Structure 1
Amino acid sequence: MLTIKEVAKLAGMSKSTVSRVLNNSGYVSNEARQKIEKVIKEHQYKPSAAAVSLSKQESSIIGVVIPEIDNPFFAEVLKGITKMADENGFSLIFCDTQNSGEKELKALGMLEQQRVRGVIITPAMGYGKESIDIIKGALSKLAVPIVVVDRDFDDSEWDTVYFQNYESGYLAAESLIKAGNERIAIILGDMQLKIARERYRGFQDAMAAYHRVILDKDVWKGDFTTDTAYELMKRMIASGDLPDAMVTTNNRTSMGFLKAMVEAGITVGKDIAAVGIDRIPTLDALGFHFSCVSRDTEEMGKMAIRLLMRRMAEPDGSRNIWVVPCKLELKGSERKQGE
């Protein structure tokens, strides 16, 4: 089925002109209208949810609230959101909260003033129970369709696109076990986040399933940031007590781990094995063979727009949860050289 963008291209017109014809609003010359109506008739085009919302005098602007605009993961998610929004005639307002709950609330307040049609949000880190209630209240106050991406809330009422977090933790640990590693450590994420707890639970269950003991000294309490993972790994290296292998629980944790190893002259895939959660494209480009549990991050963004459009069309429908599957990519770092 055609999108509004494709109708505009075939008619040789702008998307805004097509929207005016579809919604019978604003000036359009007879010649332009005839061209557009001819394309619509020939291709049996039916307006998307975005076009329907415009005909009801509703905004076609979507607010996108993300915590780390400089994170390659979110850059890929945004690519998917932008592509799908553009194809369906939506405009976007991006807000980078820098993982600050205060900035997040300000962003939501601004989007409320802008009367956005809907909001796609990945919540900032570190929400305790009280702050979760605050952010939930701010989202409810918007009174528009909401889609939560990646970092889901406990007891959430909103449509959600998330990753197989439990499965990713399980696969990472299992791959290291099957590669012959006995003592396996993990750098945790921010445990106030559901995704961190789920990834750790998957790790724990894999270790139990293969009768591996998790030592207290091998559970490193990180927060999903590069700097914290780097400092933790410097402490581990200074102790002189390296495990056989390490699970890193997101791309930034992986980068902190790798930075510490490189500085200390420790070769990943030789002196210590490792599997990270999330692919790091830069490592692939540099020929660094770092095993990971990956996901289609661009597709997550596209899914978010699709869910938002579905919610616009069916405001009273039941909650939708769409899951992006994980994929194990073994590139050699899951085993120590010679094993």
Structure 2
Amino acid sequence: MVTIKEVAEKAGVSPSTVSRVISDSPRISEETKERVRKVMKELGYHPNAIARSLVSRTTNTIGIVMPRAADEVFLNPFFPEALRGIAKCTHQEGYCMLITTGNTDEEQLESLKTVVNGGRVDGLILMYSKINDPILKAVKKMHVPFVMIGRPPKKEDLDFVDNDNVEAAFNATEYLIRMGHRRIGLINGSLNLVVSIDRFEGYKRALKKYNIDIDESIITSSEFVQEGGYEGMKKILKSPKPPTAIITTDDLMAFGAIKAAKDMGVKIPQDISIMSFNNIPLSEFATPPLTSVEINAYTLGYEAAKIVIDKLKGRCSETVSKVLKTHIIHRQSIVENR
């Protein structure tokens, strides 16, 4: 096994200089860093991560806080896609990921306290934003850098990356209106999530702009799962006057809604058009291919990781609020209503 002393001898520096190069100390010139790193590569030297963390008091690990148990979360392709973006950024920056989960808020909080108080992570990424969230309340007291994927619930001065979900839902609803639809249903996510609240607000603003009354009989909300979309569509189609178009705020829910429509003998898009959100990879393979709002889940994850790592490395000290643009991916689940 190659030692730090051997690296130092070949590079013509002291072992302490090699250690400083490994920790990316600003006291070492870029020329020296480049020379030492070249020798490390030639000799096949790999720094001992545990020893390095003991010296630097860092773990080079980012904790990922999921909204609920992992086996439930990963049923929705949004999370793997966002995690893929996080993994890309953390790998580039020399960090690892550690996922914390729990079946209840209490289990999640206990898991979070274990990794933070045990010094196992340097920073955190919350993969969601929820109203009256005990996890967020606890994290704010932990004095560890963190960033949220989702707008903070009370417009607090916190680091976050998100879409403008009000605008995105407004644009989606307005598009359907311009396609001739005046009666537009909504299958929304849980209203304890900020993303669902914002998309509901955008939907209502578009209806108001075009003087269309809100009809609660064609509006439902549930968890972001296929079953939620299935049950929501069944309820809406039983309305005395069913809509000509539906917005689902998640593609997975849209898949459930499409199945419910088919089970009830309703054809898509001939009888009812469907617009959705997230544009997950399976959307284009739905029957019919699903028109969906692209929210850039991969980039949301990447930018969240970049924000927290920039804070950890001292590259940024200001509060960061990054809002990514959305756009509609047009496919065959919508037709004009003339």
**TM-score bracket relative to the smaller structure:** 0.7 to 0.9
Write the letter of the residue equivalent to 2:108: E
Q: Corresponding residue for 2:14?
A: none
Q: CA shift at 1:166, angstroms?
A: 0.5
> C-alpha displacement at 1:172, in angstroms?
1.2
Query: Is residue 164 of structure 1 aligned with residue 168 of structure 2?
Result: no
Counterpart in 1 of 2:95? Answer: 90
Report the equivalent of 1:282: 282
Q: Write out aligned runs for 1:177-326 (5 A).
A: 177-239=177-239, 241-286=241-286, 288-314=288-314, 317-326=317-326
Query: Which residue in the other structure is 2:30 paired with?
Result: none
1:156/1:255 CA distance change after superposition, 3 Å: farther
**Aligned partner letter, 1:335:** V
Query: 1:118, CA displacement in angstroms?
Result: 0.3
Task: Please tell me whether residue 122 in structure 1 is matched to residue 127 in structure 2.
Answer: yes
Q: Measure how far apart 1:103 and its partner are.
A: 3.0
Report the equivalent of 2:45. Answer: none
Report the Cα distance in structure 2 between the residues aligned to 1:280 and 1:315, rounded to whole angstroms: 33
Q: Give TM-score scaled by structure 2 length.
A: 0.78
Equivalent pair of 1:187/1:229 in contact (CA under 8 Å): yes
1:74 is displaced (CA, Å) by 0.6
Q: How many angstroms apart in 1 are the aligned matches of 2:125 and 2:19?
A: 23
Contact 1:250 1:278 in 2 (8 A): yes
**1:108 aligned residue:** 112
| Distance of 2:165 and 2:89 partners within structure 1 | 25
Structure of larger gyration radius: 2
Report the residue type matching 2:126 in the other structure: I
Task: Assess, with a 3 A threshold, how the Cα gap between structure 1 residues 182 and 23 changes in structure 2: closer, same or farther.
Answer: closer
Q: CA deviation at 1:59?
A: 1.8
**Equivalents in 2 of 1:271, 1:178: separation in Å?**
17
Aligned-pair CA distance for 1:64? 0.8
- Write the distance in 2 (CA, Å) between the matches of 1:305 and 1:104: 21
CA contact (8 A) 2:129 2:148 kept: no
- Select the residue among 74, 78, 83 that pairs with 1:78: 83
The runs of 5 or more residues in structure 2 that have no matched partner are: 1-17, 26-32, 41-51, 68-72
Counterpart code for 2:123: G
The alpha-carbon distance between structure 1 residues 239 and 206, as it changes in their structure 2 partners (threshold 3 A), is closer
Report the Cα distance in structure 1 between the residues aligned to 2:137 and 2:66, rounded to whole angstroms. 18
Task: Report the 3-state secondary structure (helix = DSSP H, G, I; strand = E; otherwise coil) of the residue aligned with 2:124.
Answer: strand
- Aligned CA distance change for structure 1 residues 82 and 330 (closer, same or farther; 3 Å): same
Q: CA 1:316 to 1:272, structure 2 compared with 1: closer, same or farther past 3 Å?
A: closer
AA paired with 1:170?
A: F
| Structure 1 CA distance for aligned equivalents of residues 211 and 84 of structure 2 | 42
Q: Does the Cα contact within 8 Å between 1:274 and 1:335 map onto a contact in 2? A: no
TM-score (norm 1): 0.78
SS in 2 for 1:142: coil
State the shift of 1:36 in Å: 4.1
Measured against aligned partners, the alpha-carbon deviations of 1:246-303 in whole angstroms (never above 9, x if no partner) come to 1111223222212211222322211101111211321313563211111211111110
- Structure 2 vs 1, CA of residues 19 and 185 (structure 1 numbering), >3 Å: closer, same or farther? farther
Q: Kindly report the root-mean-square deviation, in angstroms, between the aligned alpha carbons of the 2 structures.
A: 3.0
Q: 1:273 to 1:287 in 2, by over 3 A?
A: closer
